[in-house]
Amino acid sequence: LFRSMSQYYDVLASKNLTVHDVLTIASLVEKEGSTDQDRKNIASVFYNRLNQNMPLQSNIAILYAQGKLGQKTTLAEDAAIDTNIDSPYN
């Protein structure tokens, strides 16, 4: 994996990102979105929030922080997730 990413190291370094950062965001984006266009939009939102030192406010990140990722949730439960929790995953 690191060898395949080597061509991107300079770009990542110029943006103060690590491979770990990119893989973490990619994992969240993959879980949040259902289409390529969704994922593109979600990634833009995440990076805009990170650039403004805002929390991600991602349901997927919150469920992971709560140890609930992978559990079935209803649409109402998903909508009621408090995305403002204080967590390093947010």
Is the pLDDT score of 61 beyond 80? yes
CA distances from 49 to 10, 31, 52, 70 (A): 23, 18, 5, 25
pLDDT tens digits for range 11-32: 888 888 888 888 889 999 999 9
Output 55 or 42, whichever has higher pLDDT: 42
**Whole-number Å distance between alpha carbons of 49 and 57:** 9
Percent of the chain with pLDDT over 70: 97
Is the pLDDT score of 46 beyond 90? yes
Report the pLDDT averaged over residues 76-90: 81
